[in-house]
Structure 1
Amino acid sequence: MEWRNVVGDKADGNAMADVTPIVYVVDDDVSVREALEALICEAGWQACVFATAREFLSYPQSSAPSCLVLDVSLPDLNGLDLQQQLAIDRCELPIIFITGYGDVPMTVRAMKAGAIEFLTKPFGDEVLLNTIRNAIQRSSVALSHVAELQVLRERHGSLSTREREVMALVVTGLMNKQVGGELGISEITVKAHRGRAMRKMGARSLADLVNIAAKLGISSHN
């Protein structure tokens, strides 16, 4: 497998603190790989280049903000098929397609599947660099959302069964008395469970708790 990982200074302030973004490149043309590697490293990002989709898939995933610059025509798994596979287990990875030729159906398929850009060779360096910056920003935001959701899930997991039940009913808009009627407990007990749930979830208000529940996909049936 051919890959090179070159660390440079952070390309911009959008990157996560102390983490250099990674730009993956998958292209079977060695001259293109080398040119893109040099361009990416000069911009201050890390570059990981691969000749085939299989090589890329076998490479360990990183938690750093990242994007994939992907050629459509590859010797094993083509770029569009790789995109489809990544949509299952790496949906947060932004994809920038590059190709020596392209047609409307191909472009439409790639964009509908979530690609952020479809560039036809030759393209200017700044066009690609600006697209990469946008992709890394998207990746950084997505990773922040994933981290936030993980924290919320852990907090929700710390709730007792009754606290979860009370929270699920409260966020639907029911009053404490109504929640008590649903669960067969007193209003005072509901208030106690509700207060503990809010503290554990880090909610400062009912509105906060409702927003948290929405992020977790919680309903009265959870």
Structure 2
Amino acid sequence: MSIRKSIFVVDDDSSMREGMKRLLSKHGFNAILFESGAELLSYADFGAAFCIVLDIDLKGESGIALRRYLADNGCVLPVIYITGNDSEANRAAAIGSGCIAYLIKPFTASSLIEPIQKVSAAA
């Protein structure tokens, strides 16, 4: 397994995090789970990941603002946004911040795995 085979999953819903971890594991990926943006930012090894799955709404935090902060600080990992609160404003902001996919909960397994496999192949 490649050293950059990990995917960071940031979601404040523990059942979503665990479900994505099981799904990703089934497809050969290691998921490193984070409950909040602050937890992700305190993690030291961003080089261990090749992709971030990021919830847009994180208990008062904005996943989109977190993505922009990461990019402004040199972390340009591809991002897949997930949200249970789809809107034109969220979609436009997500696309504007740079993402490889925008998924609305509940989403299919293949809609998550396909963009991850594409990024993994290019990593």
Partners of 1:129 and 1:137 lie apart in 2 by: 12
User: 1:57-68, aligned counterparts within 5 Å?
Assistant: 57-68=41-52
Query: Which deviates the most, 76-85 or 115-124?
Result: 76-85
SS at match of 2:57: coil
Q: Which residue of 2 aligns with 1:109?
A: 93
Alignment match of 1:34 (pick from 18, 22, 32):
18
SS at match of 2:116: helix
1:22 is the counterpart of 2:6: yes
Q: If each structure's helix is expressed as a fraction of its own residues, which one has the higher value?
A: 1
**Alpha-carbon distance change, 76 to 59 in structure 1, aligned in 2, over 3 angstroms:** farther
Shift of 1:65: 5.0
Identical positions, percent: 34
Partners of 1:113 and 1:74 lie apart in 2 by: 17
Partners of 2:77 and 2:16 lie apart in 1 by: 21
Alignment size in residue pairs:
123
Alignment match of 2:54 (pick from 58, 70, 74):
70
CA RMSD of aligned residues (A): 1.6
Shift of 1:85: 0.2
Shift of 1:92: 2.2
Larger RCO (alpha carbons 8 Å, 6+ apart): 2
Q: How high is the TM-score relative to the length of structure 1?
A: 0.52
Residue 110 of structure 2 aligns with an amino acid whose one-letter code is E
Q: Which residue of 2 aligns with 1:50?
A: 34
Kindly indicate whether the alpha-carbon contact (under 8 Å) linking 1:65 and 1:136 is maintained by their aligned counterparts in 2.
no
Partners of 2:67 and 2:101 lie apart in 1 by: 13
Kindly indicate whether the alpha-carbon contact (under 8 Å) linking 2:8 and 2:49 is maintained by their aligned counterparts in 1.
no
Task: Say which one has the larger Rg.
Answer: 1
Alignment match of 1:84 (pick from 68, 80, 93):
68
Kindly indicate whether the alpha-carbon contact (under 8 Å) linking 1:52 and 1:76 is maintained by their aligned counterparts in 2.
no
Extract unaligned runs of 5+ from structure 1: 1-9, 11-17, 141-222
**Alpha-carbon distance change, 113 to 62 in structure 1, aligned in 2, over 3 angstroms:** closer
Structure 1 segments, 4+ long, off by >3 Å, are none
Residue 15 of structure 2 aligns with an amino acid whose one-letter code is S
Q: If each structure's strand is expressed as a fraction of its own residues, which one has the higher value?
A: 2
Query: Which deviates the most, 68-77 or 34-43?
Result: 68-77
Partners of 1:76 and 1:61 lie apart in 2 by: 25
Q: How high is the TM-score relative to the length of structure 2?
A: 0.90
